[in-house]
């Protein structure tokens, strides 16, 4: 039996089509996935992300412990700054990708993926050392508000809740904590916006306050096309334990500047950063009609060189776009095998949104 988030009734009332997603009942769309996509690019949309898991790391050793656990270096964070990072195994394979917020030297907040929650917590507990507690807070919910109008509309909605949080004052990748609300200027769409963590009992009221402010509810379908256009990886497709961040296009999330920092996967990742890897991620745009989808084979001059890890139709480009994992340098183009037919695709730089 899959779980419901505190927004379940709100989704239902807003006309959502509900699907099972990693054991959670979540909206795939509320009528039109493409309209929802455009509303985030042009105005503002909201996403229920309560299925994602909040993990609070508290204790005197919180900072050095996370510097050991994560590939990116939390040592460079000021209080209330956020960082994207991977958590890797000893071979450099990605256990999960996550956002970490520093609250203070002794308190950090992680947001990890729903589908990896149990293995993430098991990994953290297995590597627990020193004075730290690993807490998963209950009774919270999480909402993302994304799009160029997100700041104004979020401010209006918060005001109507009696929450005087100054969201305009937040810079990108910074956060604020006020009473029971935790608000970060982060997201997974390539647009400006916020991710808000707050008490679950306020979920339906705040959802309605955002709708009243003119924010459009958006489902998992639009979330996927928005993040793909922005060139952001999805765990389980573009990232997995068999491939490193360097091989998956996010070597920038491995910080090697502090040579004394001993983190899990360090030796493999140091070498890959220094020498590069054969296996790497490419971004593809299809030159013809059709849609590239995860699992399709990528060929160069008739030979298999890799596989599409995420693909779809880009509403902004009106073309199919994809991320692929290949093991040969692809100068300019390749073929993707769609329904048994080779279809020519160009290799481009991310994000896709620059080609609109």
Partner 1 sequence: MEIPGELRLVATHEWVRINDDGTITVGITEHAQEQLGDLVFVETPEIDMECKAEQPVAVVESVKAASDLYAPVAGNIIDTNADLADSPELINDSPYENGWIFKMQPDDVSDVENLMDPDDYSAMVEAGD
Minimum gap (Å) between residue 229 Cβ and partner 1? 13
The single residue listed with the structure tokens 């360097």 is 246
* Number of residues near partner 1 (by CB under 8 A): 15
Which residue, 235 or 313, is less far from partner 1 as judged by CB? 313
**Binding of partner 1 by 291 (CB under 8 A):** yes
- Compute CA distances 179 → 166, 203, 235, 291, whole Å: 13, 16, 32, 46
The tokens for 154 are 């979020």
Which residue, 47 or 198, is less far from partner 1 as judged by CB? 47
Which residue, 167 or 298, is less far from partner 1 as judged by CB? 298
In the region spanning residues 15 to 54, those forming contacts with partner 1, defined by CB under 8 A, are 28-29, 32-34
Of 232, 339, 239, the C-alpha closest to 289 is 339
Which residue, 3 or 293, is less far from partner 1 as judged by CB? 293
Among 289, 301, 331, 332, binds partner 1 (CB under 8 A): 289
Alpha helices (H) along 138-250: 150-160, 203-212, 220-229
318 CB burial (10 A radius; 0-12, 13-18, 19+): exposed
**Binding of partner 1 by 340 (CB under 8 A):** no
Alpha helices (H) along the chain: 8-13, 33-42, 62-69, 117-126, 150-160, 203-212, 220-229, 266-275
289 CB burial (10 A radius; 0-12, 13-18, 19+): exposed
In the region spanning residues 224 to 243, those forming contacts with partner 1, defined by CB under 8 A, are 225
Minimum gap (Å) between residue 238 Cβ and partner 1? 18
Minimum gap (Å) between residue 75 Cβ and partner 1? 42
- Compute CA distances 285 → 121, 335, 344, whole Å: 37, 11, 9
Which residue, 74 or 222, is less far from partner 1 as judged by CB? 222
Minimum gap (Å) between residue 33 Cβ and partner 1? 5
The tokens for 213 are 């402010």
Among 30, 65, 313, 352, binds partner 1 (CB under 8 A): 313
Minimum gap (Å) between residue 27 Cβ and partner 1? 12
Of 261, 286, 279, 267, the C-alpha closest to 345 is 286
Q: What angle do CA 12, 13, 14 make, to 5 degrees?
A: 90
Using the contact rule CB under 8 A, the part of the chain among 45-53, 115-123, 180-188, 289-297 near partner 1 is 289-297
**Binding of partner 1 by 290 (CB under 8 A):** yes
**Binding of partner 1 by 317 (CB under 8 A):** no
Which residue, 32 or 356, is less far from partner 1 as judged by CB? 32
The tokens for 243 are 């491939």
- What's the rounded Cα separation, in Å, for the pair 41 and 92? 35
Which residue, 11 or 29, is less far from partner 1 as judged by CB? 29
Q: What are phi and psi of 163, to 5 degrees?
A: -100, 110
Which residue, 40 or 170, is less far from partner 1 as judged by CB? 40
Among 312, 321, 326, 353, binds partner 1 (CB under 8 A): 312
Q: Which residues bind partner 1 (CB under 8 A)?
A: 28-29, 32-34, 221, 225, 289-291, 293, 312-313, 338-339
């Amino acid at each position: 039996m899959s779980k419901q988030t505190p927004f379940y009734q709100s989704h239902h009332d807003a006309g959502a089509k509900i699907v099972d997603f990693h054991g959670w009942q979540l909206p795939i769309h509320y009528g039109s996935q493409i309209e929802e996509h455009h509303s985030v690019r042009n105005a503002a949309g909201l996403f229920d992300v309560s299925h994602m898991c909040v993990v609070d790391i508290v204790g005197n050793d919180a900072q050095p412990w996370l510097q050991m656990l994560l590939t990116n270096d939390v040592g460079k964070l000021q209080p209330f700054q956020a960082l994207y990072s991977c958590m890797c195994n000893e071979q450099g394979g990605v256990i999960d990708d996550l956002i970490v917020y520093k609250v203070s030297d002794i308190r950090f907040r992680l947001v990890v993926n729903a589908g990896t929650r149990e293995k993430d917590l098991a990994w953290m507990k297995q590597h627990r050392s020193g004075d730290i507690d690993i807490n998963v807070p209950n009774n919270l919910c999480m909402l993302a508000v994304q799009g160029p109008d997100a700041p104004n509309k979020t401010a209006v909605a918060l005001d109507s809740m009696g929450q005087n949080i100054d969201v305009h004052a937040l810079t990108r990748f910074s956060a604020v904590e006020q009473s029971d609300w935790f608000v970060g200027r982060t997201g997974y769409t390539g647009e400006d916006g916020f991710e808000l963590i707050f008490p679950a009992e306020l979920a339906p009221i705040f959802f309605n306050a955002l709708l009243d402010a003119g924010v459009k509810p958006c489902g998992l379908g639009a979330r996927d096309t928005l993040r793909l256009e922005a060139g952001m990886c999805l765990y389980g497709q573009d990232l997995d334990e068999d491939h490193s961040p360097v091989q998956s296009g996010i070597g920038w999330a491995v910080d090697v500047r502090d040579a004394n920092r001993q983190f899990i996967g360090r030796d493999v990742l140091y070498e890959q950063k220094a020498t590069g890897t054969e296996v790497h991620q490419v971004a593809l745009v299809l030159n013809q009609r059709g849609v590239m989808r995860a699992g399709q084979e990528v060929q160069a001059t008739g030979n298999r060189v890799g596989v599409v890890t995420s693909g779809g139709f880009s509403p902004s480009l009106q073309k199919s776009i994809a991320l692929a994992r290949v093991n040969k340098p692809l100068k300019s183009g390749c073929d993707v095998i769609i329904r048994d037919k080779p279809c020519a695709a160009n290799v481009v730089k991310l994000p896709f949104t620059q080609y609109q």
